Amino acid sequence: MIAATSPVNSASPIPAPNPTRTRLPRQLRLGFPSFSEPRLCATRPRMDFLHRIVGGGCFRGSTRQGLKVEIDSGGEDIFDAAAAAANNAVPEHLVVMVNGIIGSASDWRYAADQFVKKLPDKVIVHRSECNSSRLTFDGVDLMGERLAEEVLAVIRKRSEVRKISFVAHSLGGLVARYAIGRLYEPFPKPEPSGDNGNCLIEANTNNLTQSLDQPHQGTIAGLQAMNFITVATPHLGSRGNKQLPFLCGLPFLERRASQAAHFIAGRSGKHLFLTDKDDGKPPLLLRMVNDSDDLKFVSALRAFKRRVAYANANFDHMVGWRTSSIRRQHELPKSNLLVTDEKYPHIVHVKQETFDDIHNNASSAAENQNIDLEEAMIRGLTQIPWERVDVSFQKSRQRYIAHNTIQVKRYWLNSDGADVVFHIIDYFLL
């Protein structure tokens, strides 16, 4: 399902409040539990949550203008304490925000506050901090494992949540894709009825039809998967031509960057440039476009009701347009199709893909037998439909820092990206 044509919420871009934050005592990080762990009932979590809001319980935090912020060693949780207490309502939708390379939880501060202000008593926003600063050099897989562990810890702490969404920037989008592959739990397969062979054939046919037209075949850590949103994420890596734009598309510089990336960005550099060969396996990003025995990358993406890729069409010097929007060069919209929206002045093109589009694209791709790494990743990731939202800061004074402006990393420096944040919120599926 895709969000409604007209947004349900709107607001003018305004600076985020700066709530006072109280740091909690450090806690021991919990181990990696079984993913089949049963969910707790909703009655007691509701009372516990409201008890924490009015000042009791084991968590301390501070409020300002209705926002409550709780910080511990697993990240930062933000929710509207006033709305929850007044309406006796428990926010059941967990929104996990993930930072990019050399980033931190503070990168999503503006967006997180806007989420809670515009969706009071609906969402709890968790800004992940398990992969910050130099930890982002450890590789997509290790970072993904840490993120999965952190999400599970949050869910155990907030057992009232029933839905989950991810909003990730840059490298964080790859980390989130790895984490959901780890957190994916399939629905139990239905038992075939009867012993008749025709019944078995009919059941198999129905299952195939369901997998194509009703793709939500599982949960993420036991929660209903809603939105998977990436912002300027190098889904196809940084190895291809002009996928790392500041190299200006010069073949010599692109080859040298591929050879030297691991000296600058560690294992993450190897993963981004597809030069990793762990135990003779294919590059990690190539493995992440299909399911494996223990990591269901595509099934996890398929479980979400929406998958959205926000991409800078220009002036992003870190992540190219093709890799961030998961498209081939000829599939990028032409300049005459880029139209400025009055409400969202930097949103220039929106494409909502359907399963019919997937079938048509698969048929046309099958005719092309020239398959390289980039093409293989595109085919893997486009087994399921995506929404593409193209962004342009061409007329903005902040265009040369578009990679950070698109997420409003720092409001005083990247404020022109506020309309992109509001676009994410207004079309967010609750």
In this predicted model, what pLDDT tens digit does every residue of 25-43 receive, in sequence order?
333 333 444 444 444 344 4
Sort 246 into a burial class: Cβ within 10 Å, 0-12 / 13-18 / 19+: exposed
N- to C-terminal Cα distance for the chain? 12
- What confidence tier does 194 reach under pLDDT thresholds 50, 70, 90? low
| Spatial separation of the C-alpha atoms in residues 143 and 379, rounded to whole Å | 25
What pLDDT digit, counting tens, does each position of 269-288 carry?
A: 999 999 998 888 999 999 99
Number of structural domains (the chain) is 1
| Spatial separation of the C-alpha atoms in residues 273 and 285, rounded to whole Å | 9
Question: Is 209's pLDDT higher than 60?
Answer: no
Residue 38 has a CB neighbour count (10 Å cut-off) of 7
| Closest by CA position to 131, among listed 93, 88, 99, 167 | 99
Residue listed under structure tokens 């402006």: 405
- The answer to the question of residue 314 being in a domain is yes
| Spatial separation of the C-alpha atoms in residues 140 and 56, rounded to whole Å | 38
- The answer to the question of residue 116 being in a domain is yes
- The answer to the question of residue 279 being in a domain is yes
75 half-sphere exposure, CB direction, 13 A CA radius: 33
- Which residues form the domain of 301? 43-187+211-426
| Closest by CA position to 169, among listed 308, 267, 348 | 308
Q: What is the mean pLDDT of residues 211-225?
A: 77
- The answer to the question of residue 38 being in a domain is no
Higher pLDDT, 150 or 74: 150
Residue 413 confidence (pLDDT): 96
Question: Is 72's pLDDT higher than 70?
Answer: no
Q: Which two tokens stand for residue 199?
A: 């019944």
User: Is the Cβ–Cβ distance between 420 and 391 less than 8 Å?
Assistant: yes
- What confidence tier does 261 reach under pLDDT thresholds 50, 70, 90? confident
Weakest-pLDDT range from 216-220, 349-353, 395-399, 422-426 = 216-220
| Spatial separation of the C-alpha atoms in residues 318 and 407, rounded to whole Å | 14
- The answer to the question of residue 102 being in a domain is yes
Question: Is 115's pLDDT higher than 90?
Answer: yes
Q: Is the dihedral of CA 282, 288, 292, 294 positive or negative?
A: positive
Q: Which two tokens stand for residue 284?
A: 């990690």
Q: Give the pairing type, strands 163-169 and 184-186.
A: unpaired
| Spatial separation of the C-alpha atoms in residues 350 and 389, rounded to whole Å | 5
- The answer to the question of residue 326 being in a domain is yes
Question: Is 126's pLDDT higher than 90?
Answer: yes
Q: What is the mean pLDDT of residues 94-110?
A: 96
Q: Residue 353 contacts by C-beta under 8 Å, 6 or more apart in sequence? A: 382, 385, 386, 387, 388
User: Is the Cβ–Cβ distance between 143 and 131 less than 8 Å?
Assistant: yes
- The answer to the question of residue 34 being in a domain is no
Strands (E), 320-392: 347-352, 387-391
Residue 304 confidence (pLDDT): 98
Question: Is 56's pLDDT higher than 90?
Answer: no
CATH number, position 398: 3.40.50.1820
C-alpha 240: how far from chain center: 23
- The answer to the question of residue 274 being in a domain is yes
User: Is the Cβ–Cβ distance between 58 and 51 less than 8 Å?
Assistant: no
